């Protein structure tokens, strides 16, 4: 049975608290507006580019975030703040003493407060990064799943309460499909302790959003088992509704189209507008008189309000009413997922409130000056934390010091490293048999599952409906499927024979997902941050078909950007899956592996290489920069996530023993399978499943070109990164941050050094040829690169390799051509 989080203490509900919260809400709105203004209008510009920042999006959530941070949240809660409210987030951190003035002044500048809240780039307490809309919301759902995974296994640190995973999202984020993928998956897993707070300002970037959507949101959430709490009106409007004519007023607002309401908010405001804008303030009155003038009580209501008062009343939506927000959040004290729909006005209280073009709108100097005066802030005291608030500074400070959310600092947790056991090389069944890297992966996990090493208990696997076909079957048979309830294995109970024994229980260590790849990556992000979010280290392994990385690429990027640690196993890959073929062939993924920040990519050909890479990965996943390790230039101290591109093509395995030198080469990205003679005029370079073709070509060449080398590239990514970093170190002639001694050769420079200066390289892989073509730039060697550029045809391997020109003959043709070019160049 899952219990609800700690209730909020009753004494916290004193009206005095409300007074302080209201003051802080005004300060938060001011500071967020001023931070943006400062960056755009006061800090000198060097490039003439607009700095930007979103004053309207920020104003929309100033009340909601003030209520959450200063009143509602607890230290164990985790929050994803909508990207464009970053200035509000930083203002709150500043008030809590967790963000520096310097960083606010440097908003959107190097080292300063980031444009969108960033776990890895911001100095203050960001729980979950946001930026790509829709992903932050999904992140909180999967974080809740991870929290329960740990809780139900008794693995949360002693005394650590479960927190709420809160996402404050813009309403337009609900257009993103990944949100619904996450909702569905969350429902399947019966997630708890998730709050999504929708800033329902009915505006996106370009304009107001359709009126038809509103009635859909609650139904969608309710269908997924969520509680929906809609807060539409603030206390002023509620009071007006209770007066004569109030019912008609309410009906009028309820049926007012989004765009008209927004336009009137813009026209009607008088808060920071100059006298010249007076003619715009007639909006509300004109429309209400025209539509409701004959209703009893309406004239009296309107006559009792000046323009400013009428604007205040009509913009008093719930999301700007502190008492309403506070009560709304406090009313929920169980663990059922809850969606709060808070009506707001984009740009609330600012000159462009409600204007459809306000997304990138910035107050001009005169307008911010008016707003400053309105806020009683003396000129020169713009950054002062308490200036203009009619509450004693000591009282405010005492309140801030006692904010529950900030009671523990740092809120980010850590967890000790888990020792990595030796990983043996999987062997083919039978004498002289063959093995694919995918099969070897399954065997390695099977061996880990049998093992009682602590590492195996921390591994959690997950897959979007390709668990069996990516060879996780043996692992799952041993370690079981995670489920909140003990569901057993129906097929087994019914004595239906199957190789898959899928017992579902809280003990299970595999989280089975539906097909949506976005969910895989966001779950990997949540699992891979478990040590920093929940204080318990997990080692997540996610499997999927290689081509479908592209389906979830933004979510993968999001996971890496947050610094999450996971092992991504993508298989099968390339055209080598042959008859399976067609749309399942991946071409560009090796380039994704090279380009994706935070992800080290490997493509092994043999089982022993894979074993080395996996052992290294389990260690690399756990590094945090605290110890100097490996090669400084390869993020080897910081660590990161790892992507293994595997294949179903079974290869004959090399007969060799793994020594430390080979192990290091495999990790650094390449080794000579057949070392070249000094001054060799040719080398064949290959990656992955095309090893037999490269070897056959090399054998055929041996007579004509003795001394030619055969280079096995196990990681084009690390090889390239090492080379780039070494060049950078030499350019700047100082070790700098990456720790590379300036004179050091990178791994690929050392490997290629024996070749003749005018030697040729022929590179080949089952992937885009550009993955290896850069090798020619290392020493200026003439290079012919073979690979796959087109895809979509099913066939067997001989036909496909021939069609794509990655077979032995194509390699030999390229070698012959390059030899000829060399001779011609020499003449």
Ligand X SMILES: Cc1ncc(C[n+]2csc(CCOP(=O)(O)OP(=O)(O)O)c2C)c(N)n1
Query: Which of 87-95, 198-206, 504-512, 768-776 is the region at the interface with ligand X (rule: CB under 6 A)?
Result: 198-206
- List the end-to-end C-alpha distance of the chain, in Å, as a whole number: 83
Binding of ligand X at residue 172 (CB under 6 A)? Answer: yes
Instruction: Look up residue 184 and give its two tokens.
Output: 């569905």
User: Is residue 170 within the footprint of ligand X (CB under 6 A)?
Assistant: yes
Q: Which of residues 751-810 bind Mg ion (CB under 5 A)?
A: none
Crossing angle of the two packed helices 660-668 and 716-732, in degrees rounded to 10: 80
Q: How far apart are CB 51 and ligand X at their closest, in Å?
A: 16
Is 181 a residue that touches ligand X (CB under 6 A)? no
Instruction: Choose from Mg ion, ligand X, none: what does 205 bind? Cβ within 5-8 Å by kind.
Output: ligand X
Nearer to ligand X, 133 or 440 (CB): 133
**Between residues 199 and 717, which has the closer beta carbon with respect to Mg ion?**
199
Tokens encoding 119: 């776990």
Q: Assess contact for 817 and 776: CB atoms under 8 A.
A: no
* Helices and strands per DSSP (H, E), number in the chain: 33, 20
Q: Does 179 bind ligand X (CB under 6 A)?
A: no
Closer residue to Mg ion (CB): 77 or 171: 171
- Binding of ligand X at residue 335 (CB under 6 A)? no
Separation CA 527–CA 536 (nearest Å): 10
- Residue from 25, 173, 517, 766 touching ligand X (CB under 6 A): that is 173
Question: Does 199 help bind ligand X (rule: CB under 6 A)?
Answer: yes
Tell me the window of 169-177, 270-278, 551-559, 774-782 that interacts with Mg ion (CB under 5 A).
169-177
Helices 15-37 and 393-401, packing angle to 10 deg: 90
Cβ proximity to ligand X, 342 vs 761, nearer residue: 342
Tokens of 589: 């993924």
CA dihedral 396, 399, 404, 406 (to 10 degrees): 40
Kindly list the distances between the CA atom of residue 701 and the CA atoms of 529, 652, 694, 811, in Å, as whole numbers in the listed order. Answer: 50, 21, 11, 10
Measuring CA to CA, which residue among 788, 445, 460, 474 is closest to residue 437?
A: 445
Q: Exposed, middle or buried: residue 445 (CB in 10 Å: 0-12, 13-18, 19+)?
A: buried
Q: Is 173 in the site for Mg ion (CB under 5 A)?
A: no
Smallest distance, ligand X to C-beta of residue 32, A: 12
86/463 with CB nearer ligand X? 86
> Is position 170 an interface residue for Mg ion (rule: CB under 5 A)?
yes
Contact 694, 764 (CB under 8 A): yes
How far, in Å, CA of 511 to CA of 490, rounded?
A: 18
Say how many C-beta atoms besides its own lie within 10 A of residue 741's C-beta.
Answer: 12
**151 interacts with ligand X by CB under 6 A:** no
| DSSP codes, 527-541 | HTTHHHHTS---EEE
* Residue 258, token pair as written in the block: 């989004």
* Contact (Cβ atoms closer than 8 angstroms) between residue 677 and residue 602: no
The site partner of 114 among ligand X, Mg ion, none (C-beta below 5 to 8 Å per kind) is: none
Grouping H, G, I as helix, E, B as strand and the rest as coil, residue 568 is strand
**Of the listed pieces 167-175, 242-250, 292-300, 417-425, which binds ligand X according to CB under 6 A?**
167-175
Burial (0-12, 13-18, 19+ Cβ within 10 Å), 187:
middle
CB of 145 to ligand X, least distance (A): 23
The answer to whether 542 touches 577, Cβ cutoff 8 Å, is: no
> What are the C-alpha distances in Å from 419 to residues 281, 453, 539?
68, 8, 11
Question: 213 or 308: whose CB is closer to Mg ion?
Answer: 213
Nearer to Mg ion, 171 or 295 (CB): 171
State in angstroms the smallest separation of the CB of 328 from Mg ion.
19
Q: Does 171 bind Mg ion (CB under 5 A)?
A: yes
The answer to whether 203 contacts Mg ion (rule: CB under 5 A) is: yes
Task: Determine the Cα–Cα distance for residues 447 and 168; give it in Å rounded to an integer.
Answer: 43
Does the protein bind ligand X through residue 557 (CB under 6 A)? no
Sheet with strand 459-464: strands edge to edge: 504-505, 481-482, 510-513, 459-464, 539-544, 567-570, 641-645, 599-602
- Select the span of 19-27, 202-210, 413-421, 698-706 touching ligand X (CB under 6 A): 202-210
**Is 467 among the residues that bind Mg ion (CB under 5 A)?**
no
The side-by-side arrangement of strands in the sheet containing 670-674 is 670-674, 709-713, 682-687, 760-765, 782-786
Task: Tell which one of 201, 281, 462, 576 touches ligand X (CB under 6 A).
Answer: 201
In three-state secondary structure terms, 579 is: helix
Check binding of 57 to ligand X (CB under 6 A). Answer: yes
The phi-psi region of residue 277 (left if phi > 0; otherwise alpha if psi is between -120 and 50; otherwise beta) is: alpha
Q: Taking CB under 6 A as the rule, does residue 359 contact ligand X?
A: yes
Letters for 61-90 (x = contact with ligand X by CB under 6 A, - = none) are: ----------------------xx------
- Residue least distant from ligand X (Cβ): 170
Least distance to Mg ion from the beta carbon of 201, Å? 4
Q: Which of 147, 201, 557, 622 touches Mg ion (CB under 5 A)?
A: 201
Name the β-bridge partners of 78. 165
- Of 177 and 257, which has the nearer Cβ to ligand X? 177
Which of Mg ion, ligand X, none sits in contact with 84, Cβ below 5 to 8 A by type? ligand X
Instruction: Decide which of Mg ion, ligand X, none touches 603; Cβ closer than 5 to 8 Å per partner kind.
Output: none
* Binding flag, residue 346, ligand X (CB under 6 A): yes
Task: Closer to Mg ion by CB, 315 or 746: give it.
Answer: 315
Please report whether residue 462 would count as binding ligand X according to CB under 6 A. Answer: no
> Cβ of residue 65: shortest distance to ligand X, in angstroms?
12
Mask 101-140, x = binds ligand X (CB under 6 A)?
A: -------------------------------xx-------
Total residues contacting Mg ion (rule CB under 5 A)?
5
Binding positions for ligand X, rule: CB under 6 A: 57, 60, 83-84, 132-133, 170-173, 199, 201, 203-205, 346, 359
Residues at the site binding Mg ion, with contacts judged by CB under 5 A: 170-172, 201, 203
């Amino acid at each position: 049975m899952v219990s609800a989080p700690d209730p909020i203490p009753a004494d916290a509900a004193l009206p005095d608290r409300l007074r302080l919260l209201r003051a802080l809400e005004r300060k938060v709105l001011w500071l967020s507006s001023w931070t943006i203004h400062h960056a755009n209008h006061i800090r000198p510009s060097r490039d003439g580019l607009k700095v930007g920042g979103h004053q309207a999006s920020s104003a929309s959530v100033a009340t909601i975030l003030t209520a959450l941070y200063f009143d509602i949240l607890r230290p164990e809660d985790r929050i994803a703040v909508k990207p464009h409210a970053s200035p509000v987030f930083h203002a709150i951190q500043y008030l809590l003493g967790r963000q520096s003035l310097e960083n606010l002044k440097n908003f959107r500048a190097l080292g300063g407060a980031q444009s969108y809240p960033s776990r890895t780039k911001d100095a203050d307490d960001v729980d979950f990064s946001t930026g790509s809309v829709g992903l932050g919301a999904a992140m909180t759902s999967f974080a809740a799943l991870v929290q329960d995974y740990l809780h139900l296994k008794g693995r949360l640190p002693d005394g650590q309460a479960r927190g709420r995973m809160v996402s404050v999202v813009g309403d337009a984020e609900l257009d993103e499909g990944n949100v619904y993928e996450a909702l569905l998956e969350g429902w399947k897993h019966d997630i708890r302790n998730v709050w999504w707070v929708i800033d329902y300002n009915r505006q996106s970037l370009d304009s107001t959003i359709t009126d038809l959507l509103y009635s859909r949101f609650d139904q969608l959430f309710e269908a997924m088992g969520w509680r929906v709490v809609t807060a539409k009106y603030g206390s002023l409007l509620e009071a007006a509704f209770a007066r004569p004519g109030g019912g008609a007023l309410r009906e009028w607002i309820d049926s007012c189209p989004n765009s008209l309401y927004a336009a009137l908010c813009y026209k009607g405001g008088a808060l920071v507008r100059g006298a010249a804008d007076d003619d715009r303030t007639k909006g509300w009155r004109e429309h209400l008189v025209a539509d409701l003038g004959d209703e009893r009580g309406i004239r009296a209501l309107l006559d009792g309000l000046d323009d400013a008062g009428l604007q205040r009343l009509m913009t008093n939506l719930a999301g700007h009413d502190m008492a309403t927000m506070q009560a709304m959040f406090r009313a929920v004290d169980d663990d059922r997922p809850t969606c709060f729909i808070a009506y707001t006005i984009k740009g609330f209280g600012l000159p462009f409130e409600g204007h459809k073009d306000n997304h990138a709108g910035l107050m001009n100097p005169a307008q911010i000056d008016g707003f400053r005066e309105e806020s009683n802030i003396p000129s020169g005291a713009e950054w002062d934390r308490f200036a203009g608030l009619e509450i004693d500074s000591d009282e405010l400070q005492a309140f801030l010091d006692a904010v529950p959310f900030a009671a523990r600092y740092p809120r980010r947790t850590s967890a000790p490293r888990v020792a990595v056991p030796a990983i043996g090389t999987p062997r083919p069944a039978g004498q002289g048999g063959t093995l694919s890297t995918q099969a070897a992966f399954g065997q390695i996990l099977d061996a880990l599952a049998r093992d009682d090493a602590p590492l195996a208990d921390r591994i959690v696997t997950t897959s979007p409906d390709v668990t069996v076909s990516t060879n996780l079957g043996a692992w799952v048979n041993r370690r079981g499927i995670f489920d909140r309830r003990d569901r057993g294995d129906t097929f087994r109970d019914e004595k239906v024979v199957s190789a898959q024994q899928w017992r579902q229980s809280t003990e299970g260590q595999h989280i089975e997902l539906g097909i949506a790849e976005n969910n895989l990556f966001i779950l990997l992000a949540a699992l891979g941050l478990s040590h920093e979010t929940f204080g318990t280290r997990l080692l997540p392994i996610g499997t999927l078909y290689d081509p479908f990385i592209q389906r979830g690429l933004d979510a993968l990027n999001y996971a890496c950007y947050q610094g999450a640690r996971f092992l991504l196993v993508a298989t099968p890959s390339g055209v080598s899956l042959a008859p399976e073929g067609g749309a399942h062939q991946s071409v560009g993924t090796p380039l994704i592996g090279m380009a994706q920040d935070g992800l080290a990519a490997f493509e092994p050909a043999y089982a022993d290489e894979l074993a080395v890479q996996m052992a290294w990965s389990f260690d690399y996943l756990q590094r945090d920069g605290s110890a100097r390790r490996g090669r400084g230039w390869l993020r080897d101290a910081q660590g990161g996530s790892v992507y293994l591109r595997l294949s179903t093509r079974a290869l004959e395995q090399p007969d060799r023993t793994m020594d430390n030198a080979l192990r290091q080469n495999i990790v650094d990205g390449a080794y000579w399978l057949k070392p070249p003679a000094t001054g060799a005029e040719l080398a064949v370079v290959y990656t992955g499943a095309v090893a037999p073709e490269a070897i056959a070509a090399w054998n055929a060449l041996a007579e004509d070109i003795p001394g030619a080398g055969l280079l096995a590239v196990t990681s084009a990514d690390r090889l390239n990164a090492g080379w780039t970093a070494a060049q950078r170190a030499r350019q700047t002639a100082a070790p700098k941050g990456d720790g590379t001694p300036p004179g050091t050769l990178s791994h690929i420079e050392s490997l290629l050094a024996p070749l003749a200066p005018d030697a040729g390289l022929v590179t080949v892989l089952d992937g885009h040829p550009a993955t290896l073509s850069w090798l020619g730039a290392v020493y200026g060697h003439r290079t012919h690169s073979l690979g796959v550029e087109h895809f979509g045809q099913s066939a067997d391997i001989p036909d496909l390799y021939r069609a794509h020109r990655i077979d032995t003959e194509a390699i030999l043709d390229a070698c012959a051509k390059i030899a000829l070019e060399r001779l011609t160049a020499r003449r």
